[in-house]
């Protein structure tokens, strides 16, 4: 057994514990089966977290969040509700849509076999497993360190409650790993499309090649279908994650503003600043990776048209020209365009939209608090 396969075993068990691998795995990689026990376990996680979230929300509004301002308490409560719906949606979806997940995984296995059969492009099962292992390990270690720091921050505050901390911080492990699965899947599809484009360029240089243009059209269409299937499955989670990130930015940036003005606070201001700033950086980085990796996949799929255009400019037999024309029509009618149910596209503009929206609301709130003389300001002068 290789090192990469050994590394995947802990990740497999960890995925089962957090409810992201509910189905059964056989000895063969493609032997995947629906698991009733996995569905029941996902339901139990959703019910248990619903009870914990209800208790945490009640304590949040009774005790107030660490900085104890009305806006921060309300915004933090909304963020916790968003995290609740996100985690419950993840557990129930992975539990009861196992057949859809299994179909996507089998399509990944199938595309590896197709590109090897048609173009002799080697499979990269181990590379995908290794990427998931490395990314999941790094992000979970980082989250563990961040949560320990956050725990030390909350534990020293008078409004600290362990139920609030568990319901607020620990679910991040679940949706962060869902984002990892989404990004690694898109990255794998992008690599296959890039290799397909390289083979298409090589095919364009040779008139008497045995590879048919129709084979390229079939594989390209299959990869686009797979990308849309993955995007459609994860779009609900990404949409909720973006909303949660928006609320997180609102609370953290507002909290930073309060800390900068409230120098007489009893809490550890440097530690609180570190936690808030780190959360903002993690949020922005996640938005960046979601936008850049998915946008890279879309651009790679559209680059196929450039390679096909170079081929069409050369003199070729009538049969090949007909195939090139049919492939070009397919690319025009079948443009890959990935978005979260049409609310926003997965590109780098996602980062600026989230930051711009959060900043706009923060500026308005700060101006209203400092301007209106009839409303007691939450910030000391």
Per-residue pLDDT tens digits for 27-81: 555 567 888 988 999 999 999 988 888 888 887 777 664 545 677 777 777 888 8
Distance between CA atoms of residues 124 and 108, nearest Å: 10
Distance between CA atoms of residues 338 and 342, nearest Å: 8
User: What pLDDT is recorded for position 92?
Assistant: 92
Number of domains comprising the chain: 1
Q: Is 380 within a domain?
A: no
Q: Is 281 within a domain?
A: yes
Distance between CA atoms of residues 311 and 201, nearest Å: 8
pLDDT, average across residues 176-200: 86
pLDDT at 242 > cutoff 60: yes
Q: Is 356 within a domain?
A: yes
Q: Is 64 within a domain?
A: no
Please check whether residue 379 is in contact with residue 262, taking contact to mean a CB–CB distance below 8 angstroms. yes
Higher pLDDT, 274 or 198: 198
Q: Is 234 within a domain?
A: yes
- Give the DSSP letter string of 139-164: HHHHHHHHHHHHHHHHHTSTT--HHH
User: What pLDDT is recorded for position 109?
Assistant: 80
Range of the domain at 296: 99-371
Higher pLDDT, 126 or 187: 187
What are 107-165's pLDDT values in tens digits?
Answer: 888 887 787 777 776 666 666 666 667 767 777 777 677 666 666 665 555 555 666 76
pLDDT, average across residues 320-340: 81
User: What pLDDT is recorded for position 233?
Assistant: 92
Q: Is 324 within a domain?
A: yes
pLDDT, average across residues 220-231: 90
The partner residues of 331 in beta bridges, in order of sequence, read none
pLDDT, average across residues 184-198: 87
Of 37-41, 64-68, 200-204, 306-310, give the range with the top mean pLDDT: 37-41
User: What pLDDT is recorded for position 28?
Assistant: 56
Q: Is 255 within a domain?
A: yes
Enumerate residues 6+ apart whose C-beta is below 8 A from 373: none
- Residue 311's nearest CA partner among 232, 234, 233, 201 is 201
Q: Is 377 within a domain?
A: no
pLDDT, average across residues 347-362: 82
């Amino acid at each position: 057994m290789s090192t990469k396969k050994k590394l995947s075993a802990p990740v497999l068990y960890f995925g089962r514990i957090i409810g992201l691998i509910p189905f059964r795995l056989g000895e063969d990689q493609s032997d995947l089966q629906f698991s009733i026990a996995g569905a029941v376990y996902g339901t139990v996680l959703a019910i248990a977290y619903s009870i914990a979230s209800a208790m945490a929300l009640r304590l949040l509004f009774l005790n107030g969040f660490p900085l104890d301002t009305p806006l921060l308490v309300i915004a933090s409560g909304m963020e916790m509700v968003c995290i609740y719906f996100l985690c419950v949606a993840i557990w129930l979806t992975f539990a009861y849509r196992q057949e859809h997940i299994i179909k996507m995984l089998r399509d990944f296995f199938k595309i590896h076999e197709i590109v090897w059969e048609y173009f002799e492009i080697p499979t990269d099962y181990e590379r995908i497993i290794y990427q998931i292992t490395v990314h999941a390990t790094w992000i979970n270690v980082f989250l563990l360190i961040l949560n320990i720091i956050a725990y030390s921050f909350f534990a020293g505050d008078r409004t600290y409650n362990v139920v609030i901390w568990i319901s607020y911080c620990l679910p991040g492990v679940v949706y962060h790993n869902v984002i990892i699965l989404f990004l690694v899947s898109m990255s794998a599809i992008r690599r296959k499309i890039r290799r397909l484009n390289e083979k298409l360029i090589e095919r364009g240089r040779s008139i008497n090649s045995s590879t048919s243009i129709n084979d390229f059209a079939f594989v390209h269409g299959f990869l686009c279908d797979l990308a849309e299937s993955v995007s459609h499955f994860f779009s609900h989670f990404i949409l909720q994650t973006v909303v949660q990130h928006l609320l997180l930015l609102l609370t953290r940036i507002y909290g930073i503003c309060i800390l900068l003005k409230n120098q007489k606070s009893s809490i550890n201001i440097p530690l609180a600043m570190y936690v808030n700033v780190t959360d903002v950086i993690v949020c922005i980085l996640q938005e960046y990776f979601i936008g850049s990796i998915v946008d890279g996949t879309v651009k790679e799929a559209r680059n196929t048209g450039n390679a096909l255009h170079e081929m069409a400019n050369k003199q070729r037999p009538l049969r090949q020209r007909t195939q090139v024309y049919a492939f070009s029509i397919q690319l025009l009618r079948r443009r890959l365009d990935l978005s979260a149910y049409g609310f926003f596209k997965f590109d780098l503009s996602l980062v600026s939209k989230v930051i711009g929206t959060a900043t706009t609301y923060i500026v308005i709130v700060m101006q209203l608090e400092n301007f209106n003389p009839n409303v007691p300001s939450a910030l000391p002068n």
